[in-house]
Chain A
Amino acid sequence: AQTVTQSQPEMSVQEAETVTLSCTYDTSESDYYLFWYKQPPSRQMILVIRQEAYKQQNATENRFSVNFQKAAKSFSLKISDSQLGDAAMYFCACGAGGGADGLTFGKGTHLIIQP
C-alpha cells in the first residue's frame, strides 16, 4: 500500500510567478509511478504530469515540471509563469507497479492565482 502526503492545503501565487506544490509519498514497491492531477471548478480530473520512478530525469510538460527526489520520496510540482487558468485543486497520486490497486491520492492543495 502507498501513502501520499500533501502538506499545503492552500497556496497562493501572483499571476506570472512560479509556485511549487509539495508532495511526499511512501511505498514498499520498487516499481511505481507518480502523477499530478488538476481539478478545476468543473471537478474534472485532468492529468498534468507523470513520472516513472525508475527514471532519474524529471518530467516536464510545458510550464509544468517536477522535482523528483527518490531517496527523499519527494515529488513536487513546479508551475512556471502561473496563469489564471491554473487555479484549481492539485492532487498528487502514486500507483504501484503491476498491482491492481488504484491510485493513492494525497488530500490536495488548493492553488489560488492572484491577478
Chain B
Amino acid sequence: EAQVTQNPRYLITVTGKKLTVTCSQNMNHEYMSWYRQDPGLGLRQIYYSMNVEVTDKGDVPEGYKVSRKEKRNFPLILESPSPNQTSLYFCASSPTPVGSYNEQFFGPGTRLTVL
C-alpha cells in the first residue's frame, strides 16, 4: 500500500530534550516536506527536500533540522524543543515539487507536546 508513515504518532517531552520524528514514504517520491499545524493558523511549511541531500527552509524553520540521506526517509529533528513547538506535525511527499498538479500525500500526523 502506497503511504507515508510517521513515528511516533504521539509524543510528550520536556524542554531541551532532543527528539526526532521519522518520516518514510514507499512511493519513490522525490519531493518531501514537513508542515506544522496550529489552531487558527492552518498548515505551515517547516522544511522541504527536492531530492537526496537537497533540503531547504520553508516558512517556519527556526528550531528545526532535517536530513535526506535516503530518498524514502526525511526525519525532522528538534535539537532543543521548546513549548512553542507544541503542535501537530505532518510529513508529506509528492512525485515532483508541489508547484504542479501532483497531489501531496500526507502522513497521519504526529502530535507533539513540549512541557
Contacts and interface: CB of A to CB of B under 8 A. Distances in A.
A103 B48 contact: no
Interface stretch (B11-19, B21-29, B66-74, B101-109): B101-109
Interface string A45-56: 101001010000
Contact of B108 (A31, A44, A101): A44
A39 to B, nearest CB: 8
A90 to B, nearest CB: 11
A58 to B, nearest CB: 15
A100 B92 CA distance: 13
B73 to A, nearest CB: 18
A100 B100 contact: no
A100 B32 CA distance: 10
Contacts, number: 73
Interface string A5-43: 010010000000000000000000101110100000011
B50 interface: yes
Interface residues of B, number: 26
**Range of interface residues on chain A?**
20 to 34
A107 B35 CA distance: 13
Chain A, interface SS category: loop
B97 A106 contact: no
A95 B42 contact: no
B108 A95 contact: no
A31 to B, nearest CB: 7
A102 B45 contact: yes
B99 A33 contact: yes
Contact of B101 (A45, A50, A93, A99): A50
Nearest to A108: B42
Contacts of B35: 102, 105
A100 B44 contact: no
- Shortest 3 CB-CB distances between A and B: which pairs? A45-B106, A102-B45, A105-B42
Interface of B: 31, 33, 35, 40-45, 48, 50, 56, 58, 88, 90, 92, 97-101, 103-104, 106, 108-109
